[in-house]
């Protein structure tokens, strides 16, 4: 598996994919829907798939002495690696805002989502949706990337809109907690988001392996 991941990182990946990891730092931006950072990370991954498609990467990978399941595994490992790198930046940014910048006026006056553990959980959810919609959709044909990515865009921004609206609903203000207020709730929401990510990614991987086995390259 390590060699497959190295192949994805060194041969298949687009430089833009790595550059777009930095959008995880959007969690520092006040007055901006910070979960858009997760979307931009997936946009970088999409650019990598486009780059790999034009280079016939799937055909090349299938000619290697590995199974078709290993080809799928390599793509999923790489995508999860990029997502994990950006999540680390998001968590770092959220923790900085929850500690050293918790009393900053520019963040206190922010009407949009606050950077806390709930926001990181929301990023987990968005990445899980990307994995099940885009990755799962891609391996239905191992070629088409436009339709699954457009579907991902629509679903992602609907989810971002819902998550940004929650703390404006009476009784749900606590999801937008500052610092370590309502820490138990924040932690539960973070765990719920990460669990959703793991479940959706696992389901997508299983379906992608099954679909890719049926494709005659």
- What residue spans define the domains of the chain? 2-214
Q: How many CB atoms lie within 10 A of CB 165?
A: 11
pLDDT tens digits along 24-37: 999 999 889 999 99
- The pLDDT of 46-66, averaged and rounded, is 89
Please say whether the dihedral angle defined by the alpha carbons of residues 202, 203, 209 and 212, taken in this order, is positive or negative.
negative
Give every CB contact of residue 165 below 8 A, 6+ residues apart in sequence: none
Check residue 60 and give its pLDDT.
87
CB 210 within 8 A of CB 137: no
pLDDT band at residue 65, thresholds of 50, 70 and 90?
Answer: confident
In the structure, what pLDDT confidence band is assigned to residue 198 with cuts at 50, 70 and 90?
A: very high
The answer to whether the CB of 211 falls within 8 A of the CB of 140 is: yes
Q: How far apart are the first and last CA of the chain?
A: 22
List strand residue ranges (DSSP E) for 19-95, in order.
none
Q: What is the reported pLDDT for 217?
A: 66
CA 90 – CA 88 distance, rounded (Å): 5
**Mean per-residue pLDDT of the chain:** 94
How many Å apart are CA 19 and CA 100, to the nearest integer?
A: 27
Q: Angle 121-125-127 (CA atoms, 0-180°, nearest 5)? A: 115
**Model confidence, pTM:** 0.96
Query: Mean pLDDT throughout 38-60?
Result: 93
Q: Which two tokens stand for residue 162?
A: 């819902």
> How far is Cα 97 from Cα 27, in angstroms, rounded to an integer?
9
- Pairwise CA distance, residues 185 & 175, whole Å: 8
Residue 88 and residue 56 in contact, taking contact as beta carbons nearer than 8 Å: no
Q: Which of 6-20, 53-67, 153-167 has the highest mean pLDDT?
A: 153-167
Residue 216 has pLDDT above 80, yes or no: no
Per-residue tokens: 32? 């901006």
Share of the chain above pLDDT 70, in %: 100
Q: What tens digit of pLDDT does each residue of 107-129 get?
A: 988 889 999 999 999 999 999 99
The residue with greater pLDDT, 64 or 18, is: 18
Helices (H) and strands (E) in the chain, counts: 10, 0
Average pLDDT on 182-211 reads 97
Q: Is 32 helix (H, G, I), strand (E, B) or coil?
A: coil
CA gap 38, 32 in Å, rounded = 13
Mean pLDDT of 134-158: 96
Question: Residue 62: what pLDDT?
Answer: 84
Residue 197, H or E segment: helix 183-214
Q: Which of 5-9, 38-42, 170-174 has the highest mean pLDDT?
A: 38-42
Q: Which two tokens stand for residue 212?
A: 């890719």
């Amino acid at each position: 598996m390590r060699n497959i991941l190295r192949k994805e990182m060194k041969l298949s990946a687009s430089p833009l994919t790595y550059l777009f990891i930095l959008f995880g730092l959007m969690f520092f931006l006040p007055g901006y829907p910070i979960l858009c950072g997760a979307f931009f990370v997936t946009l970088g991954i999409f650019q990598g798939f486009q780059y790999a498609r034009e280079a016939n990467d799937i055909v090349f990978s299938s000619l290697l002495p590995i199974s078709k399941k290993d080809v799928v595994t390599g793509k999923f490992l790489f995508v999860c690696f990029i997502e994990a790198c950006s999540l680390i930046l998001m968590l770092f940014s959220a923790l900085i805002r929850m500690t050293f910048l918790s009393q900053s006026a520019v963040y206190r006056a922010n009407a949009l989502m606050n950077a806390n553990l709930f926001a990181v959980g929301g990023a987990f959810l968005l990445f899980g949706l990307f994995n099940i919609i885009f990755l799962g959709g891609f391996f239905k044909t191992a070629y088409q990337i436009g339709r699954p990515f457009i579907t991902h865009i629509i679903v992602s921004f609907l989810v971002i809109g819902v998550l940004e609206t929650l703390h404006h609903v009476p009784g749900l203000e606590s999801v937008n907690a500052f610092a370590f207020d309502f820490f138990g709730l924040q932690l539960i929401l973070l765990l719920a988001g990460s669990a959703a990510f793991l479940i959706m990614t696992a389901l997508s991987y299983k379906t992608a392996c099954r679909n890719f086995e049926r494709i005659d390259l």
